[in-house]
Amino acid sequence: MVESNCVELPGPRRTEEDEGNDSSDSEWIAVNVRSREDHESEEDEGSIVEISRASTPLGISFNALRLSSSPSQSLWPPSLPWLRFENQASQSVTISNLMYQLRLHSTNVPEDTDGETSLITSKQLQALTAPGGYNRELARINNFMPEETEGDNAQRLKILSTGDPIELKREGLLRFVYQVSNNLIEDQDEAIDEDGDESQDYEEMGVRTIRLFRGFCLPLGVWKEFISQTLKQPTGKAFLENLFEAAANTQSVDICETLLELGADPNRLIMTESCHVQRPIQLAVEYWVGNEEFLKLLIRSGADVNLVSGEEDACPALFKAAKEHTLQSVQALVDAGADLWASIEHDEVMYTALAAAVESDWRHSYASDHDEDQQQVSCCRRGVEILSYLLPNYDREDDHDMIQSALVMAATRGRRDLAAILLGAGADANEASIQGYTPLICAVHHSYKSEMASMAQFLLENGADPNMGTYESRGIDMGPIHIAASTGGEEKMLALLLDYGADINAPAYSATNTESAQFSASEDGDSDSGWYGKGKGGRTALQLALLPSTSRYRTKSSSSALLLLRAGANLTGGEFASAAAFNSIELMQELVRRGVDVNDVDSSGRNALEICIEHQHVGLCEYLIQAGTSMDRPDLIKPAFRGGNRQIVKLLLDHGAALQCAGNQGSLLVEVAKSKNWELMSWLMDLQDLPYSSRALCLAVTSGIGTDQSNEIHLASLLRKRPQTRTGNILEGTALAYAAFWDQHWVTDRLLKFRHDGECVLPLVENIGYYTLMEGPYQLKRTYETRRQYWNDPNAIRCSIILPFILSNNWPSVRRLLDAGYRPDRLSLLVATRSHPLPEIRHLTSHMHVLDISKGSRGKLETPLQAAIRSRRRDVVEHFLDLGADVNALSTSLALGYEDEDRVIPARTALQHAVALRDLPMIDLLLDAGADVNAPAGEFKGATALQIAAATGQIGLARRLIAFGADIDAPGARYGGRTALEAAAERGRLDMVQFLLECGVCSDQYETAMDIALAHGYMATVDTIREWMTSEGTQQRAMDEDGGI
């Protein structure tokens, strides 16, 4: 049976010929052919089809819409920039000329359009032919594009899908102008990430915009005429601005030149590929751009070469050109008036154009220290050319600090050739930069690089003092020899410093560990904090050389310590114990020859044997025992079992070590479980008859005993003494969870025979861990592989043991656990909601209270309803609503643990999620369920439904929300929030801004909105608000005058 709630569609515009041949058989209508007995399915979506009286035997009342002589008026304010633009364009010769040119060039389709013309893609055409596709696409267009009269967008859609090629291009061109002018050119289906936020890839947006622009196949002269006649309109101005941004991001020089001739601002702020706001002149000299033609075009067009964006650490174009570009680019900027004396702060130096020139070859590998022609090769590099060009502009005395900073940078980069030029220009080999670094200190600090020894030698040959320290005024006194010893550099650097008179026994002092760690941090981000002593004694170079490096990328050898010992370094205590970590019998023998006590301990109280056992150095252990190192140490056997080296265990036992540990008898079992030596573990249990340890079980399972079923005998040894009546604790639950996640069925079958308390620990910490769970099992696998003993972390996530089985998609075991009385928690339901089948979700919810379905997990996450919306699972949403889920619950902002504030998922209600996802059917469902359109914005970067619609340019939805009572002046989030007007201005949504002004947004927001738009380069938006303020002021004065009369 055909239902009566049909959806009527407008037919094609009727011509005079149509009126003369009126036939009801040609009328078409969309109807819902779902019978009353049928259930709606995901695949059918209402089964909307289009039929005519001639094609169907059904008794249907046809009421196809026709355009009358008096078309119905739009509900949109006629002052919207787009409606004003469209109305003017339809009455002017501009469109007529454009139509002629479209016909003229309709056959010139470029090869790089990839089948995409006039904003209608094969994907969209396919969507139109799908059941209900026409209505969905029409709703999508209406959501983003206002229409002068009702039905205009429907007519556009008809033309886009079935019209002739010329009309297709005409309508496509108008739609293109609208989307560019409102910054909506991104693919609406692909511009949303999983968190419901716009995935703004400005490079891709620019590429797509320019590809579409060229897809119309119109000469630039035609575009120039068209744009020039529309610039008085806000839409025309915004089109020019945003098209220029796209052309700049893609370095489309021909388009940029045309737009600049039309008045595009060469200094406007634009969003670039790196998602930073920059000036075009800065973009032109970025290393990934490298377009000298674009740079010179901007200079010819009047770009201010000294302007920078307002972002922190923004570099002037001259700096970028000196570092990334050619001498010609630098010359062009200098000739255009670039400020040679500008500077910004840098880690090691005052960063200037000279310092940038020193770094100009940073992408090129340096010549080898053994390359006799290195200087000749260096002289051919850009750095020499650029530095030689810039230096004559600087005065030796007045600009000495800049020249000196450049020398420090050259030393840091190992550039002897550039250092020689700078010394000749007045730099001093012994003078520190304003940050406190001497050239020699910087060279020695990077001594792990092979070219740095020759750099240091060059500086020493030119008078550098090998004993001059750094940071003396800030309580830190470290000489080059201390830094060379601590950074693990080549032995050559230490020998060089000693040859030039470095004091081998001078102590290094540090007022704070923080300061020392700041300087000793290597380029890979690691630091060896705590190396520099406090107080009277300090640390000598030998002591620093004996401390192992904490760097992940390089290790220290014993060669530096041996060199220092043989050069006469004094012994101050603790050296023998520290040396054990290097596994060098030669080093230990050298220390013994110097008369050290073999039972000497390090600062932590450990002797050499303990350190050697910890590092599993078998041969060195034998040497130390023979040398008489004391074995009378507490828990000496413990690190041996932890290392899992049975040879060391046997060696210690053979020499009288006690097979026991202080405290719990099971601690040895725990230690050997960490080692993954399952045979040693079983041997220990048989030898000592140890009691059952749930901690040892957890360690063994999470360390991988279940990866090979041949280890079953060792697992049985662990479980042999477990009481059958005992209820498993959280450690056993954690072991079960691990085995379940990794599909180690033989382990899970064994552990499920015991009763558990139903809770486990995951290797994830709160906040970022919840996000990892939402990402799916891949990220959790990586965390399992990298974290050990995570159950000891008080911030680790605790959850139902059902959750790991859900993550591994083991639903038979989930049902088995549910039937056995285990209960899912909110987090389990949340994870299942993402992608698991509805029947399984129904089974989970049948074992849960309605509050667990309505609330987020521990108040830290979104609710299951919100998760279902984010996953676009309408069937699950309907199920939760049927169960009474709170449609207006607000999640908590989820901080992901990064310093970057953008890595925060804002708190949102279900409706706010749906609006962010632009899911119109879901929005309808939620509004019908009573969703509150005025639910407040989350505290951190949250937004109301209307604010999200305004930011994303959903003007149709914004109008609907306002009709539902949405507060147009609702405040933004406390941190990082925007009002609706501010959000629209920030994204350059021109028509949305005008619409909100027409709706009566509070005037207190005008100035802030203009400032935000200006900061992002949207001058058309600024002008629109300013024009509104002017007209509003004029009206107010008129009212005041009338009142006075």
The DSSP letter of residue 59 is -
- The string of pLDDT tens digits covering residues 256-308 is 999 999 999 999 999 887 667 899 999 999 887 878 999 999 999 999 999 99
Q: Return mean pLDDT, the chain.
A: 80
The span from the CA of 722 to the CA of 754, in Å, is 10
Instruction: Answer whether residue 98 shows pLDDT above 60.
Output: yes
Most confident listed range (138-152, 859-873, 980-994): 980-994
Domain assignment present for 920: no
**pLDDT classification of 66: cutoffs 50, 70, 90:** very low
429 shares its domain with 562: yes
- The DSSP result for 863-887, as a single string, is -HHHHHHHTT-HHHHHHHHHTT--T
The DSSP letter of residue 791 is G
562 shares its domain with 471: yes
- Mean of pLDDT values over 156-172: 73
421 shares its domain with 559: yes
Instruction: Answer whether residue 211 shows pLDDT above 70.
Output: yes
Domain that holds residue 478: 350-571
> 777-786 and 730-741 helices cross at what angle (nearest 10)?
120
Element (H, E) at 350: strand 350-351
- The string of pLDDT tens digits covering residues 14-45 is 344 444 444 434 344 444 444 434 444 444 44
489 shares its domain with 437: yes
**pLDDT classification of 61: cutoffs 50, 70, 90:** very low
367 shares its domain with 432: yes
- pLDDT of 850: 81
- The string of pLDDT tens digits covering residues 921-973 is 999 999 999 999 999 988 888 899 999 999 999 999 999 999 999 999 999 88
Domain assignment present for 783: no
Dihedral (Cα; 700, 702, 706, 708), 10-degree rounding: -90
The span from the CA of 180 to the CA of 183, in Å, is 5
391 shares its domain with 537: yes
Residue 1022 belongs to a domain with what CATH number?
1.25.40.20
Last residue in a domain, options 70, 90, 123 = 70
Domain assignment present for 467: yes
Last residue in a domain, options 203, 237, 264 = 264
The span from the CA of 127 to the CA of 130, in Å, is 5
463 shares its domain with 566: yes
The span from the CA of 981 to the CA of 284, in Å, is 32
- The string of pLDDT tens digits covering residues 577-588 is 999 999 999 999
Residue located via tokens 């049948």: 846
CB 485 within 8 A of CB 479: no
- Mean of pLDDT values over 710-727: 90
Domain assignment present for 603: no
- The string of pLDDT tens digits covering residues 446-500 is 887 777 889 999 999 999 999 987 754 445 678 899 989 987 666 889 999 999 9
Residue 1042, classified by CB atoms within 10 Å of its CB into exposed (0-12), middle (13-18) or buried (19+), is: exposed
CB 967 within 8 A of CB 930: no
294 shares its domain with 382: no
372 shares its domain with 505: yes
The DSSP letter of residue 186 is S
Please count the structural domains in the chain: 5
Domain assignment present for 921: no
- pLDDT of 663: 52
The 3-class secondary structure across 398-436, one letter per residue, is CCHHHHHHHHHHHHHHCCHHHHHHHHHCCCCCCCCCCCC
Residue 328 belongs to a domain with what CATH number?
1.25.40
Instruction: Answer whether residue 2 shows pLDDT above 60.
Output: no
Domain assignment present for 1031: yes
Last residue in a domain, options 70, 93, 123 = 70
Domain assignment present for 757: no
53 shares its domain with 115: no
Which of 736, 728, 779, 786 is closest to 761 using CA atoms? 736
- The string of pLDDT tens digits covering residues 378-427 is 444 788 999 999 999 999 999 999 999 999 999 998 999 999 999 999 99
The span from the CA of 407 to the CA of 431, in Å, is 10
With b for 16 or more beta-carbon neighbours within 10 A and e for fewer, the 780-806 pattern comes to beebbeebeebbeeeebbbbbbbbbbb
Worst-scoring range by mean pLDDT, 128-137, 498-507, 780-789? 128-137
- Cα 209 to its chain centre, rounded Å, is 24
- The string of pLDDT tens digits covering residues 71-90 is 445 578 889 999 999 887 76
308 shares its domain with 441: no
- pLDDT of 106: 58
> 253-261 and 234-249 helices cross at what angle (nearest 10)?
150
65 shares its domain with 96: no
- The DSSP result for 3-23, as a single string, is -S--B--B-PPP-HHHHHT--
Domain assignment present for 25: yes
